[in-house]
Structure 1
Amino acid sequence: MNGSSLALRQRSLGDASAEFPLFPPLTRGCPLTSTSEIAYPLEVVYDYARVDGSLFGQEPGPDIARWSPLLPPLDAPTLGEGGTPLLKVGDVYVKDESSNPTWSHKDRLNRVTVSAAVACGAPGVVVASSGNHGASAAAYAARAGLRAIVLTSADSPPAVQAFTRAYGATVMSVPTEKRWPLLREIVDRLGYHPVSNQTVTHTGHPFGPEGYKTIAYELFLQLGEVPAAVFAPTSYAELLYGVWKGFVELRLLGVAGRTPRIFSCEPAAGGPHARALATGAPAAIVEPGPSDAYSIAGPVGGHRGVVAVRDSGGEAVLVTDEELRAAQRDLAREGLWQELAGVAGLAAYRKLRRDFDGPVVCVATSSGFKDIGVGSRRYPAVEDLTVDDLMS
């Protein structure tokens, strides 16, 4: 590939002067800047002066290790994540992350976070997740020879639970309010490496968004330029921030001359990042209403999303389930079946009705197989079917 990691250290997003060694990853947020009301994430700092310019002369393809200099050390083996297609759909481009090994964008994150678990000598990983994150973590842990514990909710889709269990993970349905205390106990008592959130507002794993930077690198090479705007489904905003940071690095390295506007796309029934941006808060917690877009319909936001939208000159867009279903249906008719939450970017772009000076990319995050109720309906045989019936 392209050499070893040039990662140097961790740095707080709450105060850039607060820096820490690269290891161990600070998975409970910045210890110097966080409070009981707001937890600030950390990011990874690199030796950018040593990055070889030829790094961006390659073709995008599977295995994000091709971007090793700009990632934390990758000590876990690949499953072939990355290199996903970019497809023109109407007047926008769709980055189809359902083409990843476990059919979601989470594979980019878990290649990096499970690598951290291997580097730290942890016996396994633990994650609180009701969907994509848990399945992906279980797959990458299995590939790395680690155990995985997935704390999920009883109402998560049965197909997703079966998917996660197939990798040999220990999957337990736990009431939402008890998942995070139990996760912390597993970390403290068993020494498992946490690859999901443990803090009051979201910080997650400091290495996680680094995997998502590779989407920005791929988009730049696939388009031949920086897009004018990127719309992404937003839950904890690790994806959003990672894409933004990737484009910032391209500009910093002199590879690109500009950065895109970044748009967070959340269910109208919640929207913690929209709330934080509207009120000027560093992060927010909301009381969400019902939404079938369960993958992004959480109450807790984080500071990463606020930074990405604010610093890029983007906006927060809220979309209803009806708008999501329309976008899901239209994408399927283009040959792309996405999870309801996964089409939030396209739904938000259509709702905003904005003209941009350059290409627009909507990140589509996950396969439609992950949706609630998929596979539960039966289709009995039709008696005396004729060709005329098929033409109606």
Structure 2
Amino acid sequence: MNILVIGRGGREHAILWSLKRSDKVKQLYCAPGNAGTAQIAENVDIGEFEFDKLVQFSLDNAIDLVVVGPDDPLAAGIVDVFEAAKVPVYGPRKNAAEIEGSKIFMKNLLKKYDIPTAKYETFTDYETAAAYLREQAIPIVIKADGLAAGKGVTVCFTREQAEEALRDTMVDKSFGAAGDKVVIEEFLEGQEMSILAFVDGETVRPMTAAQDHKPAYDGDKGPNTGGMGTYSPLPHIPQSIIDESIETIIKPTAKAMVAEGRPFRGVLYAGLMITKDGPKTIEFNARFGDPETQVVLPRLKTDLVDIFLASINGRLHDIDISWSDEAAVCVILASGGYPGSYAKGLPISGLDEAAADALVFHAGTAEKDGEIVTSGGRVLGIVGRGADIAAARANAYAAADRVQFEGKMNRTDIAAKALVRV
């Protein structure tokens, strides 16, 4: 098979790595890709939103399957475009991708079908939102309605912080048009958990659970990012809680989407909080998570191509999906200043040394004059594997220490929660 993966980040590198393991794959392409994807696929200089060019490339190169990685093109209807051209594509259609594209749509869906989530109100007018905010208890959460590269959510621990976050979002447009509407949501306290699932209509095949680390700095301090590291499995969270999340949140949401005439086909990602009242929904994403994918797919034993094809052909219910008992920990190496402004074009050393004992998934990298340089905020995902979280974590950090570039920053406490609570 000839397969095209659309995207340029660590998630897409991990997807390509997993697809490369299949004996069904003849040729892999990535559009536009990065310096890492170029090592296992042929990068194609076409952007994620150049739909017509992507379709034409697929037709010209006899592409048998297209896999869409990022959220933005999914929300813009890229799957509908490929389907209209009769090119097999894996991912949700535009009307289903709205579960991520609009937090207001997602919250209203959960409310309508009585699926556990935080209490909330939605606003389109700043003054009305500000008046409501003044009456609410603190902490509280301010969310831009639209897509904001994983950064449109602010957890506010003081009233001043909440007022500033609302003003930044709705008035100063820190997240652009994504902040024209906002969700003001009660603060949920507990342990976070991510469960990704392969979904085809009402058929749900959960992946192994993972945990992300959104804040930029150790101890969950600092601004939210796209994710600073992940690990899987979650030895400190009982399987009964994971099962409850699947049965009370993910499966009912898949059924709700069918009932709404928006059947979901693709990867449905549930961001959850385990509260004293049980698991509740923080968010839904309509694609593989980043960097969750980097620790989940290395544990997948079933051929990923088989899963994609079964879902496209409405046979996901026939697939048995198995997972390795091995643990995986991903440490993100980021550019200094991220998630704010940062330099680009800085040479990276130590990649081969890191790859000797870990998986190195590229995100914000490029090739320049024969060397690999930084080109984004999150630069690399270093994934250590081992018999348990402690071993995988040690391997990840040992490999991460071998990689150097000016201004390199990373959290030093990824997966520490699992070790404390085991």
| TM-score (ref. length: structure 2) | 0.27
TM norm structure 1: 0.28
More strand by share: 2
